[in-house]
Amino acid sequence: MSGPAQPVTAFAPATVGNVGIGFDILGHTVSAVGDKVTARRTESPGVRIASITGSPAALPLEPEKNTAGMALVSMSRALSLPFGIEIEIQKGIPLGSGLGGSAASAVAAVVAANALLDEPLDKLSLLKFAMQGEAVASGSVHVDNIAPSLFGGLVLTVGIDHPRTKQIPVPPGIRCVLVHPHMFLSTREARRILKKSIDLSDLVWQTANLAGFLSGCYSNDLDMIRDAFEDVIIEPQRSQLIPGFKAVKQAAMVNRALGCSISGAGPTVFAWCEEAYAQGIRAAMVEAFSDHNLACDHWISAIDEQGARIVDA
Ligand code: HSE
């Protein structure tokens, strides 16, 4: 049996990495935005990137230097594929925004390529290939964007060499407000500035907050989610990279957000809230950035349980 001869296009959603209190292990989808990758089989083995559209900055076409390309190189090598894969990447997620753009391209690439295989793989196998792509962009292997983009919803990942993922239930009616100020932040740089060790008291606080947040999600306890929604380790270090962060967060909180923090490595700031407060929170956050001379894109997103998918085959 041979795989499809026709090109296949996959969409992978943007994601909020860390969700404040789960550095490198927790993330959720943002269904409003995403990247697409079209993949087709070629006769000569190897991976080729035919085009990248939708990005104002030039992204590398060499597969080993590109997140989507590298994910496919690792897939092609591991499976010893007898055919080649050519891809076209359509970027929908702004570069350096903290919305998981590199992860989404890698995920869309492996999902599209998977549809070309004679025997498609399960999602956990695809996760491992996509992780190799993500490492190209950020200089380290982390899964908090890859896993939700692939599986959908709010996802916790435990382990790196043998990752286990868990979709966490999100209380009904929760919305995520996202405000992306027009500035570029490199994930590499936002990771480089982080201290290599932390105080024991911060560890205790952060652990309690992560546990409280997850238990609040499982039990629909919005008060617990609100009380636990505070990153005491990463946000204080990274917030200095985002002009006006304190004012933006305060604007969200006084307008009844459940919590507000940095999306991934930033500079996008996100807030969780009940649906009724989402518009007011968004307006207040955008105004606070504007007071710091930053124009923004903004979205209100449900935490969609659907992850990456084939959209055209
Ligand atoms: N967890 C990662 C970080 C996400 O915060 O550095 C980066 O996309």
DSSP string over 125-158: HHHHHHHHHHHHHHSS---TTHHHHHH-SEEEEE
**Residue carrying structure tokens 């990279």:** 241
Nearest Cα residue to atom 6 of ligand 1:
265
pTM of the model: 0.95
Instruction: Encode the chain (313 residues) as per-residue pLDDT tens digits.
Output: 345 678 999 999 999 999 999 999 999 999 889 999 999 999 999 999 999 999 888 889 999 999 999 999 999 999 999 999 999 999 999 988 999 999 999 999 999 999 999 999 999 999 999 999 888 877 777 899 999 999 999 999 998 888 999 999 999 999 999 999 999 888 888 999 999 999 999 999 999 999 999 999 999 999 999 999 999 999 999 999 999 999 999 999 999 999 999 999 999 999 999 999 999 999 999 999 999 999 999 999 999 899 999 998 6
> Which residues, at least 6 apart from 271, have a Cβ–Cβ distance to it below 8 Å?
176, 177, 252, 257, 258, 259, 260, 281, 285
Specify the pLDDT at position 4. Answer: 65
Pocket test for ligand 1, best of 25, 30, 144 (most atoms within 8 A of CB): 144
Specify the pLDDT at position 2. Answer: 46
User: Rounded to an integer, what distance in angstroms lies between the CA atom of residue 38 and that of residue 10?
Assistant: 6
CATH of domain 174-302: 3.30.70.890
Ligand 1 atom index nearest CA of 24: 1
Contact 307, 13 (CB under 8 A): yes
The residue among 69, 28, 74, 40 whose CA lies nearest residue 52 is 69
> Which residues, at least 6 apart from 161, have a Cβ–Cβ distance to it below 8 Å?
none
Could you give the residue ranges of the DSSP H alpha helices within the chain?
A: 67-79, 101-114, 123-138, 146-151, 187-192, 200-219, 222-228, 235-238, 245-254, 278-291
Ligand 1 atom index nearest CA of 144: 1
Is residue 123 lining ligand 1, measured as CB closer than 6 Å?
A: no
Sheet holding 269-274, edge to edge: 259-262, 269-274, 174-181, 296-302
> Which residues, at least 6 apart from 219, have a Cβ–Cβ distance to it below 8 Å?
none
Q: Which residues of the chain are in CATH 3.30.70.890 domains?
A: 174-302
Nearest Cα residue to atom 8 of ligand 1:
264
Specify the pLDDT at position 1. Answer: 39
CA–CA distance from 64 to each of 49, 67, 74 (Å)? 10, 8, 9
> How far is ligand 1, taken at its centre, from the CA of residue 78, in Å?
26
User: Rounded to an integer, what distance in angstroms lies between the CA atom of residue 106 and that of residue 171?
Assistant: 29
Specify the pLDDT at position 138. Answer: 73
User: Rounded to an integer, what distance in angstroms lies between the CA atom of residue 42 and that of residue 215?
Assistant: 48
**Which class is 8-168 in CATH?**
alpha beta
The residue count for the chain? 313
> How far is ligand 1, taken at its centre, from the CA of residue 157, in Å?
13
Cβ-based burial of 197 (10 A; exposed 0-12, middle 13-18, buried ≥19): exposed
Q: Which residues of the chain are in CATH 3.30.230.10 domains?
A: 8-168
